[in-house]
Amino acid sequence: MAAKPMSKSQIVAAMAEKCELKKKQAAGFFEALAALAAKECKGGAGKFVIPGIGRCVKRHRAARMGRNPQTGEAIKIKAKTVVKIFAVKAFKDAVLGGK
C-alpha cells in the first residue's frame, strides 16, 4: 500500500515547527506564496520561480488535431493557454538521488 501525501494541515504544522512559527503564520505564508505565484504567472513575465523547487510558466498551446477515444473520430482541439510546472535540477536530484 502506497503512503498518502501530506495534507495541507500536516505541511503547515511541519513548517511551523521547523521555522518556529505559529501554524497561522505558516498557513499565511503558503497562502501569500500561492497568490504571488498566480499574480506573477498571470502578469507580463508569465513565469514564477520558487527557489530550490521549481518554476511555474504560462504557455500558449497551439490548436491541433486529436481523436475522440470512444469513436476514433478526428476532432479539432482549440488553442489555449496552460500553466506548466517544472522541477529544478537540484530538486530532481534530491528526490531521484542524482539519476
Position 48 scores a pLDDT of: 93
State the Cα–Cα distance between residues 94 and 28, nearest whole angstrom: 27
Say if residue 47 is in the same domain as residue 66.
Answer: yes
Say if residue 59 is in the same domain as residue 81.
Answer: yes
DSSP string, 10-64: HHHHHHHHHTT--HHHHHHHHHHHHHHHHHHHHSSS-EEEETTTEEEEEEEE--E
58 is in which domain, residue-wise?
43-99
Position 97 scores a pLDDT of: 87
Position 43 scores a pLDDT of: 86
- The pTM score is 0.76
Position 45 scores a pLDDT of: 83
Say if residue 16 is in the same domain as residue 50.
Answer: no
Number of structural domains (the chain) is: 2
Task: Name 81's bridge partners.
Answer: 60
Position 98 scores a pLDDT of: 67
Say if residue 27 is in the same domain as residue 53.
Answer: no
Say if residue 27 is in the same domain as residue 47.
Answer: no
| Residue pLDDT tens, the chain, 99 long | 678 999 999 999 999 999 999 999 999 999 999 999 999 999 888 899 999 999 999 999 999 999 999 999 999 999 999 999 999 999 999 999 865
**Domain-embedded: residue 2:** no
**Domain-embedded: residue 1:** no
CATH code: domain of residue 62:
4.10.520.10
Say if residue 54 is in the same domain as residue 96.
Answer: yes
In the numeric block, the cell 510546472 is attached to 85
